[in-house]
A = this chain, B = another copy of it.
């Protein structure tokens, strides 16, 4: 009876053993750690496009997602568009929230903290005088982004804050947004 109480298994659905195994394997074979993620984007009409996510390259060979994913993007009606999907910048916020949230689950599993619920609001502020070309001193992108988490877990507030901080430290999308990345654009 004691055992069932003390051995209560923490399960956030993340296979930490497999991730630690992958880390060990890739330390020995760093060329397998070179990944290429991709999407294809097709113009539909106006500001409406459809993107698909399917294959990617990793572990030395071409890989496929279980299914192909498709995403419509558009501008809203207040920009005289048809609102067939979120705006492109909202997709960036989706990526940021998803990246930090997956990281929180993985770190919690590693630290044996049981999560009960994790929710976040991700909000980016933007002065659209930039993209409209009204003021050359205003940037096109976000002025800043604020992420606010509400987390219920078997942990102290300090432990929960530490979870979120560690997720930030290892987040790919957090890095992409907070640091510059070279983007080369070519026309065939």
Q: Which of A's residues lie within 8 Å of B, judged by CB?
A: 12-15, 18-19, 22-23, 26-27, 30, 33-43, 45-49, 51, 53, 56, 58-59, 63, 65-66, 69, 71, 73-81, 83, 85-102, 104-106, 115, 117-135, 139-151, 157, 160-161, 164-165, 168, 170-188
What is the bound-complex CA distance between A58 and B125, given in angstroms?
10
* Contact (Cβ within 8 A) B127 A33: yes
* Contact (Cβ within 8 A) A176 B92: yes
Please, which residues of chain B bring their CB within 8 A of the CB of A160?
Answer: 187
Please, which residues of chain B bring their CB within 8 A of the CB of A119?
Answer: 40-43
* Contact (Cβ within 8 A) A88 B102: yes
Say whether, besides A66-B83, A175-B141, A186-B148, A106 and B36 are in contact (CB < 8 Å).
no
Main secondary structure of the interface of A (DSSP, over half): mixed
What is the bound-complex CA distance between A101 and B71, given in angstroms?
14
Q: When A and B form their complex, which 3 residue pairs have the shortest distance between CB atoms, in order from nearest?
A: A13-B46, A41-B97, A73-B98
| Residue of B whose beta carbon sits closest to that of A12 | B46
- 30 CB contacts below 8 A, A to B, read A14-B47, A19-B80, A27-B129, A38-B121, A41-B97, A42-B117, A43-B105, A43-B119, A48-B102, A49-B98, A51-B94, A51-B97, A56-B90, A65-B83, A69-B85, A89-B173, A96-B183, A126-B172, A130-B172, A131-B170, A131-B172, A133-B170, A142-B181, A144-B184, A146-B183, A148-B186, A149-B188, A161-B187, A177-B177, A177-B183
